[in-house]
Amino acid sequence: MSEHIVPTKTNVAVWLTLLVLTGVTAGVAFIDLGPFNTVVALVIATVKALLVVLIFMHVKYTSEKLVKVVVISAIFFLALLLGLSLADYTTRLLM
Amino acid sequence: MADRPIAVEQHNPALKHHFVDMEQQREASSLGMWLFLATEIMFFGGMFCAYLIYRYWYFPDFAAASSSLDITLGTVNTAVLICSSLTVVMAVRSAQLGKRQQQVVYLALTLVLGLAFLGIKGIEWTSKFKEHHIPGPTFNFEASLPGHPDQPVDQHHAQLFFSLYFAMTGMHALHMIIGVGIFTYLLYHAWKGAYTPEYHTPLENSGLYWHFVDIVWIYLFPLLYLIDRKK
């Protein structure tokens, strides 16, 4: 973590955005978008997660580049786990 | 020898001797915390993987089971955690600016919000207990598939959903309880003035942990509560 101090205005703006996105997630769930309901919900969740990681967890402002490497690696390995597992199970013929 | 003064570099008492300066120590600490969080991501990732596979296989039964969860309480809890992440960030900022009392206030608020989350979770689980939705010998999920009133939900598949629900929200709640313990410790030491602009690493790293637990919930909420609310 660098000595960079995030202004309160930024923190409050992120907080409000997160709350609004939560409301949107809950609201959109009642609108029929077919299979895209799940996509929209997960995209919004990812935007929220990115806001938290980059600003609340300081990754955007860090002077330690290795932190970014660790974060990206963790996401990569998670994507590998989920991606390859789902590629297997969702392409099987079920009885 | 003894009568010649030796120059000694003055350094922060919190600086360990294998680090060059406070900044390097802080960055190393932070990197260590992130490495731990990477293992936590994979830990929860395994459960998310299991959930996604079963949800894909038994989507209608999972949708019916998901609709029996209280969406209002779930949304409120999401908001509670988001507010707690703000108070954590403001607590760290207070330490960076050397404001002891402000730190204490924000840490106390974080604790209150964390406990509120756990309380609401308790209410949700209690209602699940009363409805016989807890997996086990007393499990009974009376419902029909969404959009098909003549087709009953498969009991085994519904029980799978609830097993995953309790495993994942349970593991998340355990992480919250640990977080509450950590922040109680921080509250006490912040009140004692332990965290200064030069040294507030425990605050920063505990904040990282808390934000991570928040992010897990940010994904749990839509996946568990919002499978199919259209019908």
Looking at the DSSP bridge assignments, the partners of residue B144 are: B152
| Cβ contacts of A37 on chain B, cutoff 8 Å | 226, 228, 230
Rounded to 10 degrees, the C-alpha dihedral B2/B3/B4/B7 comes to: 70
Over residues B36-94, the pLDDT tens digits come to: 999 999 999 999 999 999 999 999 999 999 999 999 999 999 999 999 999 999 999 99
| Cβ contacts of A16 on chain B, cutoff 8 Å | none
Task: Please determine, for residue A13, whether its predicted confidence score (pLDDT) is greater than 90.
Answer: yes
B47 contacts B167 by C-beta, under 8 angstroms: yes
Task: Please determine, for residue A2, whether its predicted confidence score (pLDDT) is greater than 80.
Answer: no
Indicate the range of A16-30, A81-95, B7-21 predicted with least confidence. Answer: B7-21
- Interface A-B: count of C-beta contacts within 8 A: 136
- DSSP-derived letter for residue B6 is P
| Domains of chain B, start order | 50-138+150-225 (1.20.120.80)
Over residues A25-78, the pLDDT tens digits come to: 999 999 988 889 999 999 999 999 999 999 999 999 988 889 999 999 999 999
State the pTM of this model: 0.93
B110 contacts B84 by C-beta, under 8 angstroms: yes
Average pLDDT of B167-191? Answer: 97
Between residues 185 and 204 of chain B, which touch chain A (CB distance below 8 Å)?
204
Over residues B109-165, the pLDDT tens digits come to: 999 999 999 999 999 999 999 999 999 999 999 888 877 888 889 999 999 999 999
Task: Please determine, for residue B219, whether its predicted confidence score (pLDDT) is greater than 90.
Answer: yes
Task: For residue A48, give the chain B residue with the closest CA.
Answer: B218
The residue with tokens 């915390």 is B33
